[in-house]
Amino acid sequence: MVYIHWFLWFIIYSFVGWLYETVLCSIRERKLINRGFLNGPFCPVYGFGAIIVLLVLGGRSDNVIELFLAAALLTCTLEYITSYLLEKLFHTKWWDYSNRHYNLNGRVCLEGALIFGLMSVLAIQYVHPFVSGLTGRLPVTALILASALIFSGIAIDTVITVNHIVTLNGRLGEIQCAINAFIEKYMTRAGELKDSLVESFEQSEFYDDRIKLLFRLNRFQNSRLIRAFPKLRSLKYEDAMKKLKESHLRIRERDK
């Protein structure tokens, strides 16, 4: 039963993290943004961060300053590793703090460390005692049923999301090949001509029906990812990613 409680805490804090990110980004962008790697209302990195902080620091809440600093270090380490793994697995940079002060390779920054440290202190001293008391009063049957349903939903969501990203990378690769072929054929000067050539890609013979179809496929999923991660960049197919974003913006303007 202990494992079920930990799993539910992971889900609760994943939801809280999603809510925090969604509200913050929606206010910043002045529109609703479903912020998160998954389609559902969960940010697993927040769930993992909360569980790690509770396991490592849960019994050491007597010194608030030490707790704050240790939690900031733990959560930033997790964020850095998560950013690195997502980049290596999907050849995509999901967030970039390069424009923030005191950042480390654009993966973590001081501002985030301060926020995560504060959130961890609040969670350990105030939030988690309430959450653990609440889940501790739930019947065993309800715990098992809720855990099974939530786990199934997240597993399905993860499969759908990962499959879409892998498929999208394949499509971006094909689009990038068409762009590269177009550039190789028409570029007579290096450097300064590339951007102008890419801009006119849609007027070339390489922008055929197959490429147009690739831009249209899974438009909803593409749109959600672009809205959720405005600084999303492809490390292998950046020209194709830029074209995909431009296509997304044109559709949004047309539908207004």
- Note the pLDDT tens digit of each residue in 171-202: 999 999 998 888 877 765 555 667 777 788 88
The segments of the chain whose pLDDT lies below 70 read: 1, 61, 187-193, 255-256
Nearest residue to 245 via CA among 206, 256, 235, 225:
225
Q: At what angle do helices 219-228 and 238-255 cross, to 10 degrees?
A: 100
DSSP-assigned states of every residue in 151-164: HHHHHHHHHHHHHH
In this prediction, residue 61 carries a pLDDT of 66
Distance CA 158, CA 149 (A): 14
Name the token pair of 151.
């786990």
Q: At what angle do helices 44-57 and 64-90 cross, to 10 degrees?
A: 140
In this prediction, residue 235 carries a pLDDT of 87
Q: Give alpha helix (H) positions in 91-237.
A: 110-122, 128-136, 140-186, 192-199, 209-216, 219-228
Q: Does an H or E element contain 233, and which?
A: strand 233-234
- For residue 245, the tally of other CB atoms under 10 A from its CB is 15
- For residue 130, the tally of other CB atoms under 10 A from its CB is 9
In this prediction, residue 256 carries a pLDDT of 61
pLDDT tens digits along 47-77: 999 999 999 998 776 789 999 999 999 999 9
Task: For the chain, give the percent of residues with pLDDT over 70.
Answer: 95
Cα–Cα separations (whole angstroms), residue 86 to 16, 32, 133: 21, 24, 35
Cβ atoms 123, 55 nearer than 8 A: no
Q: Does an H or E element contain 93, and which?
A: strand 92-93
The residue with tokens 């390779």 is: 105
At position 245, the amino acid (one-letter code) is K
In this prediction, residue 231 carries a pLDDT of 85
The 8-class DSSP code of residue 236 comes to: S
Q: Does an H or E element contain 82, and which?
A: helix 64-90
Could you tell me which residues are beta bridge partners of residue 93?
233
| Assessment of whether the complete model's pTM goes beyond 0.85 | no
